Amino acid sequence: MTITGWIIAGLAIALFGVLAVGGMFLNYERKEHQREKERIRKEGAENAQHTADIITEAEKIKQEANTGNHSNDLHTMADQLHNYANGGK
């Protein structure tokens, strides 16, 4: 094989090597991006569930404070305000 043939073969091997390394890098970045998207989706679902739980609890408190018995309703809301003021303790 001539010098030109060796140079062309060497350049072809180098090109394939660069393409292989680049492909592996792109694949790694794609997988990393997919993991990040999945983490964000999971976090969003947890936040949605937490929000739904808060709304459910608020509705329950609202129903307890709206019985029609004004004295009892005021006492219920005063207890709730006391709980909020003490940080839910």
Residues 26-74 pLDDT 10s: 999 999 999 999 999 999 999 999 999 999 988 888 887 777 777 888 8
Residue 33's pLDDT is 97
Structure token pair of residue 73: 């309703």
pTM as predicted? 0.57
What is the chain's Cα-based Rg? Answer: 32
Residue 84's pLDDT is 81
* Residue 56 CB-half CA count within 13 A: 6
Higher pLDDT, 61 or 3: 3
The phi and psi torsions of 86 (rounded to 5 degrees) equal -95, 15
Sign of CA dihedral 8, 9, 15, 16: positive
Residue 88's pLDDT is 63
pLDDT band at 13 (very low <50, low <70, confident <90, very high): very high
